[in-house]
Amino acid sequence: MKYLHLPENGPSWKTLLEKLRGSKKRTAAVILCVLALALLAASEFTGSRKAPTESTQTQADAYAKTLETRLAALLSSIDGAGKTQVLVTLRTGAETVWAQNDKMDTQTDESESRVQSEQEYVLVRTGGDESGLPLKTRTPQILGVAVVCEGATDPQVRQRITQTLTAALGIGASHVSVVQMESERK
């Protein structure tokens, strides 16, 4: 087996190329190594990190719209409510809790003890993409609900609607407003 001997003060490119030209196997091996390094470098630049498909605001709006539709259907089925429209306002958008690694290092001297803690997010690589590991997603918090219905003149209907909303959404009665729908003029 032959070894490539280079001068001690460092190779000159010209000398290196002359020595490599001598063997076709060696030239092919060098070319393969250069290509492999180029592919590795290119994958670092083209590997994408997953971006959310929808913005948090868009997701919150979709959640509120779905909730409004379901609540309108539920409330209109209450005896005496009649035609019903619902508006839901949100306090916060959806929140994602990400997995983290916690590292704690305790150093003890003769006179004192120190604790250092460090947190880093857990990343998951799928193919060329890298993203955080979600533990859970919290639904948006509801700020209030406004209901406009035909039967709101009846105090019992208003009370049943308010009780239904407070039980279904886990919000206080002070966050619910029930008002009479404008009658259609002929």
- 69 and 122 within one domain: no
Q: What is the pTM of this model?
A: 0.54
Half-sphere exposure of residue 163: CA atoms within 13 angstroms, side-chain side:
7
For the domain that residue 70 is a member of, what is the CATH number? Answer: 3.30.300.30
Residue 5 token pair = 């001997």
Does 3 map to a domain?
no
Dump pLDDT digits (tens) for 20-76: 566 666 666 667 666 666 666 665 554 444 444 456 677 888 888 999 999 999 999
Q: Does residue 78 contact residue 161 with C-beta atoms inside 8 Å? A: yes
Does 21 map to a domain?
yes
- Please report the DSSP string for 35-73 in residue order: HHHHHHHHHHHHPPBPPPSS-HHHHHHHHHHHHHHHHHH
Does 121 map to a domain?
yes
Does 7 map to a domain?
no
Q: Domain containing 131: what range?
A: 99-135
- 117 and 37 within one domain: no
Q: Does residue 170 contact residue 163 with C-beta atoms inside 8 Å? A: no
